[in-house]
A and B are shown apart, each in its own frame.
Chain A
Amino acid sequence: MLLREVEYARPASVQEAVRLLSENDGARALAGGQTLINVMKARAASPDVLIDLIDLDELKGIDLGSDGTVSIGAMVTYSEILDSAEVRARPILAEVCAQIADVQVRNRGTIGGNVCSNDPTNHLPPLMVSLGATMTIVGQEGERSVSAEEFFLGVYMTAAGPGELLTRISVPPGKSDGFASVSIGKDGTCIVNAAASVNGGARVAIGCVDAVPVLLQTESTEDDAVRDAVRAANLDPPSDVHASADYRRHLAEVVAVRAVAQAKAKH
């Protein structure tokens, strides 16, 4: 399929990228392109200018801080996460990235692209929320940090607004995490997913049931307590060809319980 005409730039610095994003109407950041190029084919997105982030070293690499915090550049691919020794400080990151699509997509697709596209069926938005990740955003006014809970604003919308760039994601250390999903085929698009982190109580973030991940916190990690918390959230998920709203509500309980059970088992 031919793409609509588009212009292109490959800036060499974050400052230049932010300037290009601010100065050009209809400009969009191009990360791995594993979503954006496809939606451009279908004309579901029609950017006028693509700002390719591939040369931005500040958006690359994975660092492990002395306190165990993992800092991941927005342009780090899923495959790089799978191969990273530093990421083992929070093993769930690689476990979930291994469930995204296929080898080719994992070789190009990036953690920053996944969270910034903020498709409600994506794997990483609920995971970032349950892990309590922090996003670093750079704009022309400088740099700021936003918690994952505040980062996801709506369908395809995040706190990284027009003219801004997500540069890095910081994830605190830990290991009592779980992730469960029901997907369309193995490692396919999620119908409902849930990420859980247990530290005394549980933090559970459910995806695919609302515009942004739904965060639930429970004091008890028992199955019934998790089920009750999901019911009390009065989820109003969408119905589509893959699942009715009622079925998604049911699945939300199931995957939340599974994710918490997985997290508990990793103590």
Chain B
Amino acid sequence: MDVISRKTITVTVNGESYEREVDARRLLIHFLRDDLDLTGSHIGCDTGNCGACSVLLDGVLVKSCMLLAIQADAAKIETVEGLAENGELTALQQAFSDHHGLQCGYCTPGMLMSATALLRSNEHPNEEEIRRAIQGNICRCTGYVNIVTAIKAAAE
């Protein structure tokens, strides 16, 4: 086996298959945003703290700024663009709207992915479980209260 600096990778994002050649140094978040034009996932801090870039990688919640695109070869990725189907919001997205679970909206894609991951593994989380689930997502507007309320409402 030799070391490589570029590779053609195949990923499935929100059910659609993409094949692209990437540099080994390319971060997954840049691949999603710049190569696939899926700009729903945001870059907030770029240091792995804020969670705005959170996506599901083979069903596992990860921060896509701390992963190389080349590491995601052959993976199934879900981003915020994949949540709504045929223009219809998920119960969680609707709850964020109904309960005003956002202000500027920058953290919202990451919040939605973290909450989606939570609700898949735990249909009826309590408040502590909800707060723990979004621990890796920073919001500088809301104070989190309406975000927690929205996730709780979506679980009911």
Q: Which residues of A contact B (CB under 8 A)?
A: 1-12, 16, 20, 24, 30, 33-34, 37-38, 41-42, 49-50, 52, 54, 101-105, 107-108, 186-187
Contact = CB atoms under 8 A, between A and B. Distances in A.
Contacts of B4: 7-9
B35 to A, nearest CB: 14
A102 B136 contact: yes
Contact of B1 (A20, A34, A104, A108): A20
B19 to A, nearest CB: 18
Contacts of B54: 104
B23 interface: yes
A105 B46 CA distance: 14
A104 B62 contact: yes
Given A24-B3, A54-B71, A103-B114, A8 B66 contact: no
A108 B54 CA distance: 12
Interface in B98-134: 114, 117, 132-133
A105 B70 CA distance: 19
A33 B3 contact: no
A16 B1 CA distance: 8
A30 B24 CA distance: 13
A103 B71 contact: no
A29 to B, nearest CB: 13
Interface majority SS (helix, strand, loop, mixed), chain B: mixed
8 contacts: A8-B70, A20-B3, A24-B3, A37-B65, A41-B46, A49-B3, A103-B114, A103-B132
A42 B54 CA distance: 20
Contacts of A2: 25, 30
B27 interface: yes
Interface of B: 1-5, 7, 23-27, 30, 46-48, 51, 54, 60-63, 65-68, 70-71, 114, 117, 132-133, 135-137
Interface centre among A20, A104, A107 (most CB of B within 10 A): A104
Nearest to B113: A104
A103 to B, nearest CB: 5
A54 B60 CA distance: 15
Contact of A52 (B27, B47, B71): B71
Contact of B68 (A4, A37, A103): A37
A41 B66 CA distance: 10
Given A5-B24, A33-B68, A103-B117, 16 more contacts: A2-B25, A6-B5, A6-B25, A7-B3, A8-B24, A8-B70, A9-B4, A38-B48, A38-B66, A49-B3, A50-B24, A54-B71, A103-B133, A104-B63, A107-B60, A187-B135
A105 B5 CA distance: 26
B82 to A, nearest CB: 18
Nearest to A79: B60
B67 A37 contact: yes
A103 B7 CA distance: 30
A104 B28 CA distance: 14
Nearest to A32: B66
Contact of A102 (B51, B68, B71): B51
A108 B5 contact: no
Contacts of A37: 27, 48, 65-68
A52 B68 CA distance: 11
Closest 7 pairs between A and B when the two form their complex, measured CB to CB:
A102-B136, A8-B24, A3-B25, A7-B3, A102-B135, A9-B3, A104-B136
Contacts of B68: 8, 33, 37, 50
Contacts of B117: 103
Contacts of A7: 3-5, 24
Contacts of A5: 5, 23-25
A4 B25 contact: yes
A189 B5 CA distance: 33
B63 A105 contact: yes
